[in-house]
Amino acid sequence: MAQSNVPPSQPAGPGAGGDQLPLAGKPGKMKLIVTIFVAGWIGIIFLLTLGVEAYGIGNFGVFLAAMLMAMLPVPVLILLAFFLDRYEAEPIWMLAVAFFWGATIAILFAGMFNTLNAAILMKLLGKGMGDALAAPLSAPPVEEISKAMVLFAFFFFKKDEFDGVLDGILYAAMVGLGFAMTENITYYAKGIAQGGTQAAAVTFFLRCVMGAYGHPLFTSMTGIGLGLSRQSDNPLVKKIAPVAGLCGAMFLHFLWNLSGLFGLVQFFMVYLAVMFPALVAVLVVAWFAIKRDSDLVRTHLSADLQSDWINPAEMECLCKVRSRLGRSLAAWKAGGFPAWKQRVAYHQLTSELALCRWRSARGITSKDQSTRIEAQYILRIREVYAGMVPINRSK
């Protein structure tokens, strides 16, 4: 491991060696232009997707009502997903890309191939049987692959931001929420058009209250598989886990869709016997993943306890979610929003430093690159730590 206590005079400040800190400095002009360009295209594709939905529904009033119903639970579910991300907050732009990938590209990809597969099944089995079997046979592989594309892209091309199971669950939740939001517009519109308010309310209860976590849960299997692959030292696990996770996502999706073919009793049986326990299992996995992040912070920052930017009390705070939240709240009370922001930045940067060292130890990033980035992190942490408002260290 590279020497942690780098003196401020060492020429390894921000920008040294061509590496950039995620949280340090302002974005360059080219990065800003690219961000605006990508955001613009995402917005255009999203509007086009909504336009396709509106055209297919044929009634703008019904479409608007269905869209509002579909968007209603999204902010709450996103906040719940963010709550899991307590140690290393993922970049907002990556979370947004995951969400809008699910809401646009994945939904369009799935729509095309589901329509094609349904036509083939109806041709082979007859209209009634083919239409009924399209949901359990076509939707699971098509939709889970379409959602998984962005997760695999992050896994291979953003190794510095995809560190383990918790990251996989969070990105999967975002893409699943985006997919479910757009998909639900059609379901709610059909409910309104076919049965009015009562049918829309039943559909809303089944899809928003009971099934709100459906797509995020299915896709979290893929995220967990990719996360296990990133964390594991076993070559076999590294190869098999992503495929096993994707297959698990398809299987859960298959059971969910199949249960809808046999009536409400069977649906509730599958919900209680499979879906709810699966949700609890994912939350348990997330809890262990949070504990793993805590252990990484303790392991990779322990050598810095004699430095001027961390002490044993701060270490204990950094290794406990409750203590982090308590210190952040205390900073808010002591100095308002600026003090809270400074404290949160300290928590984030120290976690990033620990994970930078972990990636270096695992060979995910080169030693030279990690040493340069580590020095930048330490310089930035010193700046933040020096400007933090003093609070009661016992909290």
Q: Output the pLDDT for position 193.
A: 76
Distance of CA 309 to the CA centre of its chain: 30
Reference 217, options 258, 274, 259; nearest CA is 274
Work out the percent of the chain whose per-residue pLDDT is above 90. 44
How is residue 16 annotated by DSSP? Answer: G
Centre a 10 Å sphere on the Cβ of residue 95 and count the other Cβ atoms it contains: 20
Structure tokens at 86: 């307590």
Q: What is the pLDDT of residue 30?
A: 65
Tokens of residue 300, six digits: 């990779």
| Residue bearing the bigger pLDDT, 136 or 46 | 136
Read off the tokens for 254.
């298959």
Residue-range domain boundaries for the chain:
58-294, 305-386
**Digit-coded pLDDT (tens) for 367-384:** 888 888 899 999 999 999
In order of 309, 311, 314, 348, the CA distances from 390 in angstroms are 13, 14, 12, 18
Given a cut of 50, whether residue 19 has pLDDT beyond it is no
3-state secondary structure of 265: helix
What's the one-letter identity of residue 147?
Answer: K
Range of weakest confidence among 132-136, 198-202, 218-222: 198-202
Question: What 8-state DSSP symbol labels residue 73?
Answer: T
Q: How far is CA 129 from the centre of its chain?
A: 37
Counting every residue written for the chain, the total comes to 395
- The mean per-residue pLDDT over the stretch 147-170 comes to 93
At what angle are helices 29-57 and 165-204 packed, to 10 degrees? Answer: 30
Q: Tokens representing 135?
A: 């949901």
The pLDDT tens digits for 241-294 are 999 999 999 999 999 999 888 877 888 888 899 999 999 999 999 999 999 999
Q: Are 260 and 135 in contact (CB under 8 A)?
A: yes
The pLDDT tens digits for 306-340 are 888 998 888 998 998 889 989 999 999 988 999 99
Instruction: Decide: 362 and 299 in contact? Cβ < 8 Å.
Output: no
Q: Is 359 helix (H, G, I), strand (E, B) or coil?
A: helix
* More confident of the two residues 166 and 15: 166
CA dist 133 and 265 (Å) reads 19
- CA distances 371 to 5, 41, 157, 330, Å, are 12, 36, 21, 33
Tokens representing 285? 């996995």
Alpha-carbon gap, residue 124 to 116, rounded angstroms? 13
